Structures are given as C-alpha cells and as structure tokens.
C-alpha cells in the first residue's frame, strides 16, 4: 500500500489526490499531498503512474503497512519505475519503453506449446 510521499520531490500539483480511486490521499495544510487513509489504499499503483515527479512510493504488500527507510527507497532506483516502464510523459518516445502489450497473445501461445507433461 501507499507508504511514502517525498515532499521535496513533490511539485504540489495535486494529481495523486485527484486520481486515487479509493481516496487514500488528501491535500494537507501546506497544500502538499499526504496519506490520509492508508487502509483505503488498494495497492493499484495508479498514483505513481500519474506522478510526473516520481514523488510517491507504493509497497507491493497489500495486507500490512511496512516500516520503510525513505532514504533506502530513494536510492533504490524504484521511484518512477512504473511510469518509466509504461513509457509515460518524458519516456513516451523512448524506444526502450515502447508499448509491447500486443506480445501477450504470442506469449500465451508459446506457454501452451512448450508445456512439458508433469513428472512426479
């Protein structure tokens, strides 16, 4: 679930508050987003995708909050991973992040054709 918001990276656009489908975020008195209802987070990562500043971090554990070290995450290279791999915003014309979703059909077919019978 949503764990970290880096205020120094945040540009205060408020987009994450608007797009969160379960209303887990709210703008604080300083006009910066904060986690207002962590339990409401559905771990869908949509806020990260819409954050052009890569200022949010969602931990994939959807069951329990985690004690994370903000500095470790910041240095991990994971901030903005989803937005980059999706080819959004400044990554839109980067051939390394073009939309290859159409390959799914071929992958399913390959999985079917390469399946070996189970041997116990």
Partner 1 sequence: MTSTSSPLLELRADVLVIGGGLAGTWAALAAAREGCRVILVDKGYCGTSGVTATAGPGHWWVPPEPQARAAAIDKRLGTAYGLADGRWMARALETTWNSLPGIAGYYAFPQDEHGVTQYRGLRGPEYMRGMRKLIEDNGVTILDHSPALQLLRDANGAISGASGWRRQAGGDWQVNAGATVIASGGCAFLSRLLGSHTNTGDGYLMAAEAGAELSGMEFSNYYCIAAAGSTMTRSMVYTFGDYFDASNRQLPIQQGPEFTHQLARALIEGPVYCRLNRVPQNIRQQLPSIQPNLMLPFDRHGIDPYRQRFPVTMHAEGTIRGVGGLRVIDDDCQTTIAGLFAAGDAASREPIAGATSGGGAQNSAWALSTGQWAGRGAARLARGRSLQPTGLSGFDGIGLDRRENGASADGQELLRRIQDEVHPLDKNLFRSGTQLTRSLQALESVWDQVHGGSLGAGQKPLRARELVAMAATARWCYHAAEQRKESRGMHQRSDLPKQSANYDAHMRLGGLDNLWLRHDPLPRQTTQGALA
Q: How far apart are CA 65 and CA 19, in angstroms?
A: 21
What number of residues does the chain have? 120
> Of 7, 11, 69, 110, which lies in the binding site for partner 1, with binding defined by CB under 8 A?
110
Binders of partner 1 among residues 48 to 77 (CB under 8 A) are 49-50, 58-63
Classify the C-alpha dihedral 67-81-8-34 as positive or negative: negative
Q: Which is nearer to partner 1, 52 or 59 (CB)?
A: 59
Judged by CB under 8 A, which of 7, 20, 54, 69 binds partner 1?
Answer: 20
Q: Cβ neighbours of residue 74 under 8 Å, at least 6 residues apart?
A: 6
Q: Is 113 in the site for partner 1 (CB under 8 A)?
A: no
CA distance 76 to 93: 25
Among 6, 13, 53, 86, binds partner 1 (CB under 8 A): 86
Shortest approach of partner 1 to residue 57 CB, angstroms?
Answer: 9
Cα 58 from Cα 13, distance rounded (Å):
19
Contact residues: partner 1, CB under 8 A: 17-23, 40, 42-46, 49-50, 58-63, 78, 81-82, 85-87, 96-105, 107-108, 110-112, 114-115, 117-118, 120
């Amino acid at each position: 679930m949503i764990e970290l918001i880096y205020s120094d990276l945040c540009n205060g656009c408020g987009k994450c508050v608007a797009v969160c489908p379960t209303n887990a975020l709210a703008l604080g008195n300083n006009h910066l987003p904060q986690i207002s209802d962590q339990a409401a987070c559905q771990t869908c990562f949509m806020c990260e995708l819409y954050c052009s500043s890569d200022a949010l971090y969602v931990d994939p554990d959807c069951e329990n909050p985690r004690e994370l070290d903000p500095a470790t995450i910041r240095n991990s290279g994971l901030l903005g991973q989803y937005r980059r791999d999706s080819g959004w915003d400044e990554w839109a014309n980067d051939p390394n992040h073009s939309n290859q979703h159409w390959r799914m059909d071929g992958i399913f077919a390959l999985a079917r054709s390469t399946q070996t019978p189970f041997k116990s």
